Protein backbone atom coordinates (compact mmCIF):
# COMPACT_ATOMS: atom_id res chain seq x y z
CA UNK A 1 0.00 0.00 0.00
CA UNK A 2 2.79 2.45 0.92
CA UNK A 3 4.52 1.69 -2.40
CA UNK A 4 1.31 2.54 -4.27
CA UNK A 5 1.01 5.84 -2.41
CA UNK A 6 4.65 6.62 -3.15
CA UNK A 7 4.09 5.96 -6.87
CA UNK A 8 1.04 8.20 -6.83
CA UNK A 9 3.05 10.99 -5.22
CA UNK A 10 5.74 10.61 -7.88
CA UNK A 11 3.13 10.87 -10.65
CA UNK A 12 1.69 14.01 -9.09
CA UNK A 13 5.16 15.55 -8.87
CA UNK A 14 5.58 14.96 -12.60
CA UNK A 15 2.54 17.18 -13.28
CA UNK A 16 4.66 20.30 -13.51
CA UNK A 17 2.02 22.25 -15.41
CA UNK A 18 -0.53 22.36 -12.56
CA UNK A 19 -1.40 25.95 -11.62
CA UNK A 20 -0.90 26.80 -7.94
CA UNK A 21 -0.74 30.59 -7.91
CA UNK A 22 -4.22 32.15 -8.00
CA UNK A 23 -3.48 35.60 -6.66
CA UNK A 24 -4.71 37.13 -9.92
CA UNK A 25 -6.67 34.28 -11.52
CA UNK A 26 -10.10 32.82 -10.91
CA UNK A 27 -10.27 29.49 -9.11
CA UNK A 28 -12.75 26.63 -9.45
CA UNK A 29 -14.43 27.79 -6.24
CA UNK A 30 -14.64 31.36 -7.52
CA UNK A 31 -16.24 30.30 -10.79
CA UNK A 32 -18.90 28.18 -9.05
CA UNK A 33 -19.36 30.70 -6.23
CA UNK A 34 -18.91 27.89 -3.73
CA UNK A 35 -18.60 30.30 -0.79
CA UNK A 36 -22.21 31.31 -1.38
CA UNK A 37 -23.51 27.82 -2.16
CA UNK A 38 -21.79 25.99 0.69
CA UNK A 39 -22.75 28.61 3.26
CA UNK A 40 -26.45 28.34 2.41
CA UNK A 41 -27.18 25.31 4.60
CA UNK A 42 -28.42 26.98 7.77
CA UNK A 43 -29.98 24.55 10.20
CA UNK A 44 -32.71 25.91 12.45
CA UNK A 45 -32.27 23.07 14.91
CA UNK A 46 -29.24 21.34 16.36
CA UNK A 47 -30.28 18.02 14.86
CA UNK A 48 -27.76 16.18 12.69
CA UNK A 49 -30.27 15.11 10.02
CA UNK A 50 -31.58 18.57 9.23
CA UNK A 51 -28.47 19.02 7.06
CA UNK A 52 -29.62 16.10 4.89
CA UNK A 53 -33.11 17.58 4.59
CA UNK A 54 -31.83 21.00 3.50
CA UNK A 55 -29.26 19.74 1.00
CA UNK A 56 -31.64 17.28 -0.70
CA UNK A 57 -34.15 20.06 -1.33
CA UNK A 58 -31.53 22.59 -2.41
CA UNK A 59 -30.00 20.11 -4.88
CA UNK A 60 -33.46 19.30 -6.25
CA UNK A 61 -34.14 23.00 -6.78
CA UNK A 62 -30.86 23.34 -8.70
CA UNK A 63 -31.83 20.42 -10.94
CA UNK A 64 -35.27 21.99 -11.44
CA UNK A 65 -33.60 25.23 -12.49
CA UNK A 66 -31.81 23.29 -15.23
CA UNK A 67 -35.04 21.50 -16.23
CA UNK A 68 -36.72 24.89 -16.67
CA UNK A 69 -33.75 26.16 -18.65
CA UNK A 70 -34.05 23.19 -21.03
CA UNK A 71 -37.87 23.15 -21.21
CA UNK A 72 -38.13 26.86 -21.96
CA UNK A 73 -35.53 26.55 -24.71
CA UNK A 74 -37.22 23.42 -26.10
CA UNK A 75 -40.53 25.29 -26.39
CA UNK A 76 -38.83 28.05 -28.40
CA UNK A 77 -37.00 25.49 -30.54
CA UNK A 78 -40.25 23.70 -31.45
CA UNK A 79 -41.88 27.03 -32.31
CA UNK A 80 -38.90 27.81 -34.57
CA UNK A 81 -39.01 24.33 -36.23
CA UNK A 82 -35.62 23.45 -34.74
CA UNK A 83 -36.69 19.94 -33.80
CA UNK A 84 -33.25 18.35 -33.40
CA UNK A 85 -32.27 21.00 -30.86
CA UNK A 86 -35.54 20.41 -28.98
CA UNK A 87 -34.93 16.65 -28.93
CA UNK A 88 -31.50 17.16 -27.35
CA UNK A 89 -32.95 19.44 -24.68
CA UNK A 90 -35.82 17.08 -23.84
CA UNK A 91 -33.45 14.11 -23.68
CA UNK A 92 -31.38 16.09 -21.17
CA UNK A 93 -34.51 16.83 -19.13
CA UNK A 94 -35.21 13.12 -18.71
CA UNK A 95 -31.63 12.49 -17.53
CA UNK A 96 -32.00 15.29 -14.99
CA UNK A 97 -35.26 13.75 -13.82
CA UNK A 98 -33.49 10.48 -13.01
CA UNK A 99 -31.15 12.41 -10.72
CA UNK A 100 -34.04 14.03 -8.85
CA UNK A 101 -35.78 10.67 -8.47
CA UNK A 102 -32.64 9.16 -6.94
CA UNK A 103 -32.54 12.02 -4.43
CA UNK A 104 -35.65 10.53 -2.80
CA UNK A 105 -33.64 7.38 -2.08
CA UNK A 106 -31.23 9.47 -0.03
CA UNK A 107 -33.98 11.36 1.79
CA UNK A 108 -35.74 8.09 2.63
CA UNK A 109 -32.85 7.29 4.99
CA UNK A 110 -34.46 9.91 7.27
CA UNK A 111 -36.64 8.10 9.80
CA UNK A 112 -39.93 9.43 11.25
CA UNK A 113 -38.34 9.85 14.68
CA UNK A 114 -35.43 11.83 13.23
CA UNK A 115 -37.67 14.13 11.19
CA UNK A 116 -39.84 14.90 14.22
CA UNK A 117 -36.76 16.32 15.94
CA UNK A 118 -36.76 19.35 13.60
CA UNK A 119 -40.07 19.33 11.65
CA UNK A 120 -41.58 22.04 13.84
CA UNK A 121 -38.73 24.38 12.82
CA UNK A 122 -40.09 24.44 9.26
CA UNK A 123 -43.19 26.32 10.38
CA UNK A 124 -45.48 26.58 7.33
CA UNK A 125 -42.62 26.17 4.83
CA UNK A 126 -43.15 23.23 2.49
CA UNK A 127 -41.98 21.79 -0.81
CA UNK A 128 -45.59 22.40 -1.88
CA UNK A 129 -44.53 26.04 -2.24
CA UNK A 130 -41.68 25.31 -4.68
CA UNK A 131 -42.19 27.97 -7.35
CA UNK A 132 -39.82 26.21 -9.75
CA UNK A 133 -41.85 23.02 -9.56
CA UNK A 134 -44.98 25.05 -10.35
CA UNK A 135 -43.21 26.59 -13.34
CA UNK A 136 -42.37 23.10 -14.58
CA UNK A 137 -46.01 22.06 -14.24
CA UNK A 138 -47.10 25.20 -16.10
CA UNK A 139 -44.53 24.62 -18.86
CA UNK A 140 -45.87 21.08 -19.27
CA UNK A 141 -49.47 22.34 -19.37
CA UNK A 142 -50.86 21.68 -15.88
CA UNK A 143 -52.30 25.08 -14.93
CA UNK A 144 -53.68 25.56 -11.40
CA UNK A 145 -54.75 29.16 -10.78
CA UNK A 146 -55.37 28.80 -7.03
CA UNK A 147 -51.71 27.86 -6.57
CA UNK A 148 -50.66 31.36 -7.66
CA UNK A 149 -52.09 32.81 -4.43
CA UNK A 150 -49.14 31.33 -2.53
CA UNK A 151 -46.78 33.76 -4.27
CA UNK A 152 -48.79 37.00 -4.17
CA UNK A 153 -46.60 38.53 -1.46
CA UNK A 154 -43.61 38.52 -3.85
CA UNK A 155 -44.68 40.71 -6.78
CA UNK A 156 -41.69 39.93 -9.02
CA UNK A 157 -42.04 36.18 -8.50
CA UNK A 158 -45.81 36.32 -8.94
CA UNK A 159 -45.44 38.13 -12.27
CA UNK A 160 -42.83 35.61 -13.40
CA UNK A 161 -45.14 32.70 -12.59
CA UNK A 162 -48.16 34.41 -14.11
CA UNK A 163 -46.25 34.84 -17.37
CA UNK A 164 -45.54 31.09 -17.60
CA UNK A 165 -49.11 30.37 -16.48
CA UNK A 166 -50.53 32.29 -19.44
CA UNK A 167 -47.97 31.08 -21.98
CA UNK A 168 -48.37 28.07 -24.30
CA UNK A 169 -47.04 24.84 -22.82
CA UNK A 170 -44.70 22.48 -24.60
CA UNK A 171 -47.71 20.40 -25.60
CA UNK A 172 -49.47 23.47 -27.01
CA UNK A 173 -46.51 24.22 -29.29
CA UNK A 174 -46.31 20.52 -30.22
CA UNK A 175 -49.96 20.62 -31.32
CA UNK A 176 -49.13 23.75 -33.31
CA UNK A 177 -46.33 21.75 -34.96
CA UNK A 178 -48.93 19.18 -36.03
CA UNK A 179 -50.93 21.96 -37.67
CA UNK A 180 -47.83 23.30 -39.43
CA UNK A 181 -47.25 19.80 -40.82
CA UNK A 182 -50.66 19.92 -42.49
CA UNK A 183 -52.87 18.10 -39.98
CA UNK A 184 -56.38 19.44 -39.51
CA UNK A 185 -56.44 20.61 -35.92
CA UNK A 186 -59.57 22.04 -34.32
CA UNK A 187 -59.19 25.88 -34.44
CA UNK A 188 -60.50 26.16 -30.88
CA UNK A 189 -57.49 24.13 -29.75
CA UNK A 190 -55.00 26.25 -31.69
CA UNK A 191 -56.55 29.49 -30.40
CA UNK A 192 -57.40 28.36 -26.90
CA UNK A 193 -56.80 30.09 -23.56
CA UNK A 194 -53.39 28.74 -22.50
CA UNK A 195 -54.12 29.40 -18.84
CA UNK A 196 -56.63 26.52 -18.90
CA UNK A 197 -55.31 22.99 -18.46
CA UNK A 198 -55.61 21.12 -21.76
CA UNK A 199 -58.11 18.26 -21.65
CA UNK A 200 -57.81 16.58 -25.04
CA UNK A 201 -59.34 16.86 -28.49
CA UNK A 202 -60.32 14.35 -31.18
CA UNK A 203 -58.53 16.23 -33.96
CA UNK A 204 -55.28 16.09 -31.99
CA UNK A 205 -55.80 12.39 -31.24
CA UNK A 206 -56.35 11.66 -34.94
CA UNK A 207 -53.24 13.61 -35.91
CA UNK A 208 -50.98 11.73 -33.49
CA UNK A 209 -52.44 8.40 -34.67
CA UNK A 210 -51.53 9.30 -38.22
CA UNK A 211 -48.00 10.19 -37.10
CA UNK A 212 -47.60 6.80 -35.42
CA UNK A 213 -49.03 4.96 -38.41
CA UNK A 214 -46.59 6.72 -40.76
CA UNK A 215 -43.43 6.98 -38.72
CA UNK A 216 -41.06 7.42 -41.69
CA UNK A 217 -43.15 10.22 -43.18
CA UNK A 218 -43.51 12.11 -39.89
CA UNK A 219 -40.23 11.10 -38.23
CA UNK A 220 -39.64 14.42 -36.45
CA UNK A 221 -43.16 14.55 -35.02
CA UNK A 222 -42.87 10.91 -33.98
CA UNK A 223 -39.60 11.62 -32.16
CA UNK A 224 -41.15 14.68 -30.53
CA UNK A 225 -44.09 12.62 -29.27
CA UNK A 226 -41.81 9.98 -27.77
CA UNK A 227 -39.62 12.62 -26.11
CA UNK A 228 -42.75 14.12 -24.51
CA UNK A 229 -43.84 10.70 -23.27
CA UNK A 230 -40.37 10.20 -21.77
CA UNK A 231 -40.64 13.49 -19.87
CA UNK A 232 -44.10 12.71 -18.50
CA UNK A 233 -43.14 9.14 -17.64
CA UNK A 234 -40.17 10.29 -15.54
CA UNK A 235 -42.16 13.10 -13.94
CA UNK A 236 -44.80 10.64 -12.78
CA UNK A 237 -42.10 8.37 -11.41
CA UNK A 238 -40.69 11.37 -9.55
CA UNK A 239 -44.18 12.11 -8.16
CA UNK A 240 -44.60 8.48 -7.09
CA UNK A 241 -41.24 8.37 -5.28
CA UNK A 242 -42.09 11.69 -3.64
CA UNK A 243 -45.41 10.31 -2.42
CA UNK A 244 -43.88 7.08 -1.05
CA UNK A 245 -41.02 8.94 0.64
CA UNK A 246 -43.45 11.31 2.35
CA UNK A 247 -45.62 8.36 3.43
CA UNK A 248 -42.54 6.59 4.78
CA UNK A 249 -41.45 9.59 6.85
CA UNK A 250 -44.70 11.26 8.04
CA UNK A 251 -47.44 8.78 7.13
CA UNK A 252 -50.74 10.55 6.44
CA UNK A 253 -50.07 13.68 8.49
CA UNK A 254 -51.02 17.06 7.03
CA UNK A 255 -48.09 18.70 5.24
CA UNK A 256 -46.31 21.66 6.83
CA UNK A 257 -47.70 23.83 4.02
CA UNK A 258 -51.29 22.82 4.84
CA UNK A 259 -51.81 20.28 2.05
CA UNK A 260 -53.27 16.83 2.77
CA UNK A 261 -49.81 15.38 2.26
CA UNK A 262 -49.83 11.86 0.86
CA UNK A 263 -53.48 12.12 -0.19
CA UNK A 264 -52.71 15.22 -2.28
CA UNK A 265 -49.67 13.56 -3.85
CA UNK A 266 -51.79 10.54 -4.77
CA UNK A 267 -54.36 12.74 -6.51
CA UNK A 268 -51.83 14.43 -8.81
CA UNK A 269 -50.61 11.02 -9.96
CA UNK A 270 -53.87 10.71 -11.89
CA UNK A 271 -53.21 13.79 -14.01
CA UNK A 272 -51.93 13.27 -17.56
CA UNK A 273 -50.08 16.09 -19.33
CA UNK A 274 -50.25 14.69 -22.86
CA UNK A 275 -53.47 12.61 -22.92
CA UNK A 276 -53.60 11.72 -26.63
CA UNK A 277 -50.05 10.34 -26.56
CA UNK A 278 -51.10 7.85 -23.88
CA UNK A 279 -54.53 7.04 -25.31
CA UNK A 280 -53.14 6.12 -28.73
CA UNK A 281 -51.23 3.22 -27.15
CA UNK A 282 -54.62 1.56 -26.72
CA UNK A 283 -56.31 2.82 -29.89
CA UNK A 284 -53.55 2.11 -32.42
55 is in an annotated binding site: yes
- Do the annotations mark residue 57 as ligand-binding? yes
29 is a domain residue: no
242 is in an annotated binding site: yes
Asked if residue 100 belongs to a known ligand binding site, the reply is: no
Residue 92 belongs to what domain range? 48-282
The answer to whether 47 is a known ligand-binding residue is: no
pLDDT of residue 45: 96
pLDDT of residue 101: 95
Segment 211-226 shows an average pLDDT of 98
Mean pLDDT in residue range 182-193: 97
- Number of structural domains (the chain) is 1
- Give a yes or no: residue 40 inside a domain: no
Residue 33 domain-assigned?
no
In a domain, 6, yes or no: no
| Amino acid 270: pLDDT | 86
Q: Is 56 annotated as a binding residue?
A: yes
Mean pLDDT value across the chain = 93
Q: Is residue 38 part of a domain?
A: no
Using one digit for the tens of pLDDT, what is the confidence trace for 27-66? 999 999 999 999 999 999 999 999 999 999 999 999 999 9
Per the domain annotation, does 108 fall within a domain?
yes
Residue 200 included in any domain: yes
pLDDT of residue 2 exceeding 80, the answer is no
Minimum mean pLDDT range among 30-39, 87-96, 259-268: 259-268
- CATH number for the domain spanning 128: value is 1.20.58.480
Query: Residue 201's pLDDT is what?
Result: 97
Residue 119: inside a domain: yes
Question: Within 10 A of 235 (CB to CB), how many other CB atoms are there?
Answer: 21
- Is 170 annotated as a binding-site member? no
Q: State residue 1's pLDDT score.
A: 61
Amino acid sequence: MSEDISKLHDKLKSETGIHTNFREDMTYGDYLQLDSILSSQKRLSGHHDEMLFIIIHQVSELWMKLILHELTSAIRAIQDDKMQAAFKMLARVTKIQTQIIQAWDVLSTLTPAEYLEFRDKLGKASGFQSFQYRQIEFALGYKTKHILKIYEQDIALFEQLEKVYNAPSIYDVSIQALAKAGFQINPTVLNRDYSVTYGGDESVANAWKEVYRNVDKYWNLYQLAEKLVDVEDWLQQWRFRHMKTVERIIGFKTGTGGSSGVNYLRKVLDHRFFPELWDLRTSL
